[in-house]
Amino acid sequence: MTTTQRDRMQKRRTQAKRQQIITWALVSVAVVAVIGLIIFQSAKVDDHSAQDPVSTGGIGEMVPVVKTSHVNDGEPVESPSDPPTSGTHYGVSMPAGFYQVDSPEYLDPTHDGYLIHSLEHGYIIFWYNCDLLDEASCSTLQSEIQDVMDEFDGKKLIAFPRPSLSVPLVMTSWGYLQEFETFDADLAAQFVETNQPLAPEPGGL
């Protein structure tokens, strides 16, 4: 083999090696880009932006939806209203049901974090304040609330005490709030039927 042939062979080997390095570099860049995109999309789904739009067409007062990201259980949560209509929340929702002031769930001071997550999944919450009523009136209100809940088989419906209310009853859904000086069964049923589907994750449990 002549010197010229050896030089040509060496040149081809060098070019092939360089091409292999370039190919692996391009593959590595592509893999990193795909991983970065997956991480970005996951973060985008789990941690909603500072302000999400409220679905229109609901019944009641529309309340801006802000800070809807998950926080660790037990951490303080933020909501734009009292009672909550949205806000930061925990990763677990509150089960449907009628809760009393002696319920363990109510006695847990972090209950709002679970209730806000329920709202995100399409739950409707009846917040009631029996401190404003005598015993008979409180019993009547609770029965009226239960009747509406039974009308919808209790599906994604919660009744929960709220001593901070200035009226006996407030209903909330995701982004909406309806106050009741006196109970109105028809309005309560309309609130449930109209507002439940407007939640951002109505298919959640």
Does 205 score more than 80 pLDDT? no
Contact call for residues 100 and 80 (beta carbons, < 8 A): no
Asked whether residue 203 is assigned to any structural domain, the reply reads no
With 0.85 as the threshold, say if the pTM is over it.
Answer: no
Asked whether residue 16 is assigned to any structural domain, the reply reads yes
Asked whether residue 7 is assigned to any structural domain, the reply reads yes
Three-class secondary structure of residue 97 per DSSP? strand
Say which amino acid occupies 113.
G
145, 109: one domain: yes
4, 57: one domain: no
117, 181: one domain: yes
22, 58: one domain: no
109, 34: one domain: no
Q: Burial level of 3, CB count in 10 A (0-12/13-18/19+)?
A: exposed
pLDDT of amino acid 89: 94
22, 64: one domain: no
Q: What is the mean pLDDT of residues 102-118?
A: 97
Asked whether residue 24 is assigned to any structural domain, the reply reads yes
Contact call for residues 176 and 63 (beta carbons, < 8 A): yes
pLDDT digits (tens, 9 = 90+) for 19-53: 666 665 555 555 555 454 444 444 433 444 344 55
pLDDT of amino acid 46: 41
Query: How far is the C-alpha of 142 from the C-alpha of 128, rounded, in Å?
Result: 8
**91: CATH:** 3.40.30
42, 1: one domain: yes
171's enclosing H/E stretch is strand 169-173
CA max distance for the chain: 111
Spatial CA neighbour of 200 closest among 60, 93, 65, 43: 65
Asked whether residue 42 is assigned to any structural domain, the reply reads yes
Give residue 94's pLDDT band: very low, low, confident or very high (50, 70, 90).
Answer: very high
Does 170 score more than 70 pLDDT? yes
Asked whether residue 204 is assigned to any structural domain, the reply reads no
Q: What is the mean pLDDT of residues 172-180?
A: 97
Query: How far is the C-alpha of 82 from the C-alpha of 187, rounded, in Å?
Result: 20
168, 185: one domain: yes
41, 59: one domain: no
Query: How far is the C-alpha of 69 from the C-alpha of 75, rounded, in Å?
Result: 12
65, 151: one domain: yes
Total domains in the fold of the chain = 2
Q: What is the mean pLDDT of residues 132-147?
A: 98
Three-class secondary structure of residue 110 per DSSP? coil
Three-class secondary structure of residue 70 per DSSP? strand
pLDDT digits (tens, 9 = 90+) for 49-81: 344 556 778 999 999 998 788 999 899 999 999
Task: To the nearest 10°, report the CA torsion of 183, 189, 195, 197.
Answer: 160
104, 170: one domain: yes
pLDDT of amino acid 150: 98
Weakest mean pLDDT among 9-13, 103-107, 142-146, 181-185: 9-13
Q: Where in the sequence is the domain holding 133, given as residue range(s)?
A: 51-198
Residue 71 — φ and ψ, nearest 5°?
-130, 165
114, 133: one domain: yes
Name residue 98's beta-bridge partners.
159
Estimate the crossing angle of helix 135-151 against helix 185-195, to 10 degrees: 40
Give residue 203's pLDDT band: very low, low, confident or very high (50, 70, 90).
Answer: confident
